[in-house]
Protein backbone atom coordinates (compact mmCIF):
# COMPACT_ATOMS: atom_id res chain seq x y z
CA UNK A 1 0.00 0.00 0.00
CA UNK A 2 1.40 3.39 -0.95
CA UNK A 3 1.40 6.08 1.72
CA UNK A 4 2.26 9.68 2.31
CA UNK A 5 4.42 10.05 5.40
CA UNK A 6 4.64 13.10 7.65
CA UNK A 7 7.55 13.09 10.09
CA UNK A 8 7.67 15.89 12.67
CA UNK A 9 10.32 16.63 15.30
CA UNK A 10 9.58 19.24 17.93
CA UNK A 11 12.42 21.48 19.16
CA UNK A 12 10.42 21.90 22.36
CA UNK A 13 8.26 18.96 23.40
CA UNK A 14 4.63 19.19 22.31
CA UNK A 15 2.31 19.38 25.35
CA UNK A 16 5.45 18.75 27.45
CA UNK A 17 5.32 15.09 26.36
CA UNK A 18 5.89 14.39 22.64
CA UNK A 19 9.19 15.03 20.86
CA UNK A 20 8.52 13.19 17.57
CA UNK A 21 5.42 12.33 15.56
CA UNK A 22 5.17 10.23 12.38
CA UNK A 23 1.90 9.65 10.51
CA UNK A 24 1.33 7.38 7.50
CA UNK A 25 -1.62 8.38 5.27
CA UNK A 26 -3.04 5.99 2.67
CA UNK A 27 -2.55 7.89 -0.58
CA UNK A 28 -5.90 7.07 -2.24
CA UNK A 29 -8.14 7.93 0.74
CA UNK A 30 -5.89 10.33 2.71
CA UNK A 31 -6.97 8.53 5.89
CA UNK A 32 -4.28 8.01 8.56
CA UNK A 33 -3.25 4.35 8.82
CA UNK A 34 -0.57 4.47 11.47
CA UNK A 35 0.75 7.06 13.91
CA UNK A 36 3.86 6.94 16.10
CA UNK A 37 4.29 9.29 19.05
CA UNK A 38 7.70 9.37 20.76
CA UNK A 39 8.16 11.28 23.98
CA UNK A 40 9.11 11.28 27.60
CA UNK A 41 7.13 11.39 30.83
CA UNK A 42 8.97 11.87 34.09
CA UNK A 43 12.28 11.13 32.37
CA UNK A 44 11.04 7.80 30.98
CA UNK A 45 11.07 7.56 27.15
CA UNK A 46 8.12 5.88 25.44
CA UNK A 47 6.65 5.06 22.03
CA UNK A 48 2.91 5.03 21.44
CA UNK A 49 1.58 3.55 18.22
CA UNK A 50 -1.92 3.85 16.83
CA UNK A 51 -2.98 1.61 13.95
CA UNK A 52 -6.26 2.58 12.31
CA UNK A 53 -8.56 0.62 10.03
CA UNK A 54 -11.68 1.86 8.29
CA UNK A 55 -14.92 0.37 7.06
CA UNK A 56 -16.99 2.72 4.90
CA UNK A 57 -20.34 2.31 3.26
CA UNK A 58 -19.22 3.32 -0.24
CA UNK A 59 -16.29 4.77 -2.15
CA UNK A 60 -15.03 7.99 -0.57
CA UNK A 61 -14.21 9.60 -3.91
CA UNK A 62 -15.29 11.70 -5.63
CA UNK A 63 -16.23 14.08 -2.86
CA UNK A 64 -19.49 15.80 -3.76
CA UNK A 65 -21.71 18.36 -2.04
CA UNK A 66 -24.44 16.54 -0.15
CA UNK A 67 -22.75 13.13 -0.36
CA UNK A 68 -22.98 11.23 2.94
CA UNK A 69 -20.63 8.36 3.76
CA UNK A 70 -20.65 6.41 7.00
CA UNK A 71 -17.15 5.53 8.19
CA UNK A 72 -16.42 3.20 11.10
CA UNK A 73 -12.88 3.65 12.44
CA UNK A 74 -11.12 1.07 14.60
CA UNK A 75 -7.94 2.09 16.45
CA UNK A 76 -5.47 -0.17 18.22
CA UNK A 77 -3.26 1.86 20.56
CA UNK A 78 -0.10 0.40 22.15
CA UNK A 79 2.46 2.08 24.39
CA UNK A 80 6.00 0.79 24.91
CA UNK A 81 8.54 1.94 27.48
CA UNK A 82 11.87 2.47 25.70
CA UNK A 83 15.41 2.25 26.92
CA UNK A 84 18.08 4.63 25.67
CA UNK A 85 19.18 2.25 22.87
CA UNK A 86 15.64 2.30 21.36
CA UNK A 87 15.45 6.08 20.91
Residue 64 forms part of a structural domain: yes
Residue 59 forms part of a structural domain: yes
Residue 39 forms part of a structural domain: yes
Residue 86 forms part of a structural domain: no
For residue 48, the enclosing domain spans 3-81
Q: Is the pTM of this model over 0.75?
A: yes
**Which helix (H) or strand (E) segment is 40 a member of?**
strand 32-41
pLDDT tens digit sequence for 66-82: 988 898 999 999 999 98
Looking at residue 84, its pLDDT comes to: 61
Residue 20 forms part of a structural domain: yes
d(CA 52, CA 46) in angstroms, rounded, equals: 20
- Indicate the burial class of 70 (C-beta count within 10 angstroms; 0-12, 13-18, 19 or more): exposed
Residue 76 forms part of a structural domain: yes
Residue 87 forms part of a structural domain: no
**Which helix (H) or strand (E) segment is 23 a member of?**
strand 18-26
Residue 24 forms part of a structural domain: yes
Number of domains composing the chain = 1
Amino acid sequence: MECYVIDVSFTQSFQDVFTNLTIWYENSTLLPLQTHFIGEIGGIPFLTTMVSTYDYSENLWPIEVGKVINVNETDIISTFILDETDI
